[in-house]
Structure 1
Amino acid sequence: MDTALLSLIVIVALALIFDFINGFHDTANAIATSVATKVLTPAQAIAMAAVLNVVGALAGTAVAKTISKDIIPQDFATLHLVGATLVSAIVWNLFTWWKGLPSSSSHALVFSMVGAGVAAGGWGIIIPKGVKKTLMGLVYSPALGFIVPIILFFLISWLVLRWMKPRVVTRTFRTLQIFSAAFMAFSHGGNDAQKTMGIITFALAAYTGTKIETVPLWVILSAAAAMGAGTAVGGWRIIKTMGFKVVDLKPVDGFIAETGAALIIDGASRLGIPVSTTHTISTAIMGVGTTKGFKKVKWQVAGRIVQAWIYTIPVCIALGWLVHKAILAFI
């Protein structure tokens, strides 16, 4: 087996490991609220999320194409660059998982890729348009995640809640939250698994030396399976942070937060924008919490979450750069 092919196999394995880690790192995105409100047991929630993450991952490739073509041109693709990107993103994901912080796997991957790209060819090979698209997702998805659930809450309150008895509200939204959790899991798979598809496609372009416009079917299927397997394992540290430490949730709150976040994520996926599903659902939970009063949200915990968001970009750029330099120094 020639060295290049062996390197490609290692890269694909690393990508699927990243996808698996992304799955258990982000399990909380789909199930934290439904577990916190006791609408679903942890086992039921994880099983549902794992299946629907896979279904969502098979729903499109627009985000994958952004990762594979719009951050760094495929002309500059090398297996060293892809390897550095994946190692950097995996290290950051594991660190934030260990700390119980819901950071962004998406932005860890994209900005690790930027750092490795700068190490490989300087800032000139980075495509500003693609990075801008990612930054727009970084800014707009949490902002909308905060605002949309507040709007949904007041709309539902005016149309429905004021006519219903409290116990009827609880019973009704316990059922509805199962569907909102399912939608959230589907939208998560539709955005996050595509990043792995994109990075593997980028690696294939590096190996073959040709531009690849369409994501191969085996890449789609393997990324979907790895995401589903990771979700099935579950990331309990982050589930506890998001589901129990930010705000006290009721079934109606969980339904609103999940529905608002899922609509935003699904819309971004269709536009090919790699957003942070973690950012979006986190701010959606905060947004719902503020409808109960600002004192109901544990802003100290929310502050730790925001810190992780802020650190991700510079840390992953630096990590990507350092890992790429280290790889070149040891080969």
Structure 2
Amino acid sequence: MALEMLTFVIKRVGLGAILVLLVLTLVFSALHLVPGDPAVLLLSSGDGGAPSRAAVESLRTQLGLDQSLLNQYLNFLGGVFEGDLGQSFRTDDAVTGMIFARLPRTLELVLLATLISLVIGIPLGSWAARAGGKVDNVVSMATSFGVAMPVYVLGSIFVLVFSLKLGWFPAGGFVTWAQDPLGHLRVLILPALSLALGFSAVIARMTRSEVFETQNQDWVRTAKSFGLAPSTVFRRHVLRNSLIPVVTIVGLGIGTLLGSTVLAERVFNYPGLSSLLIDSVATRDYPTVQGIVIVIAMLFISITILVDICYGLLDPRVRN
């Protein structure tokens, strides 16, 4: 069993490494697939004025565009694996430092939203499947509403109600944990909830569907015939088997949340990685945009590998 699991993990990590290399190749190719000279494109002001030849040549040398395509690719890969994602055109700071100064804030927001979604979604879906009837109908209506409600609409409603009307939470901004732990949590609550409600609705619907199907299986009826307590049967034989597809949904959903933080961070003026991405796109800071895309892609691939490993732990058949 241990050897099977180790082999399974090695295969998934190897596949993840191939995907990372593919992503890096696509990101590198994007700059060279754009028609025209990338240096001219990056230096163009957008008002029709052409950059000077000296500036273009200087930028080509800075970016290594005067080298062969193979050397550029190898230098790019070497820089990424060494943690060097280049310099920001806007601030001239190291892109790696800029990203990792904001990345923990976005990850904290995503993880809190995921935790809230699991705490709401799994019990709600299980309750709907076990109770049935009116409870199931009410939960289905509530989850449909949650799935349909956009993040920016929820965020705006939360700001209006809980910040401006009731004054329970700040409308936005950021406070570090070292400055004020309670203030830090209060800043996180509303953006995390705006991300979590839709995700929790998806988890609840998936959990409800899987629990409803699993509780009618033969092995569940056999466990009940042995005289086991209903709570024991549900915990050991129903919920565990029902959570396998839910784990997959959660893994994919975390990747979706990484994208949805763009809206939440804008609504709540939260200084995370997504807001840095928007600012960099607006100012045409291409090295920063490129670096953020690489980091987010690597995060998504890592999350997918972890989900696959959890899948293998929950269901031994997956290892084969």
Give the TM bin, normalised by the shorter chain: under 0.3
- TM-score by length of structure 2 reads 0.28
Bigger CA radius of gyration:
2
| Higher relative contact order, structure no. (Cα contacts within 8 Å, ≥ 6 residues apart) | 1
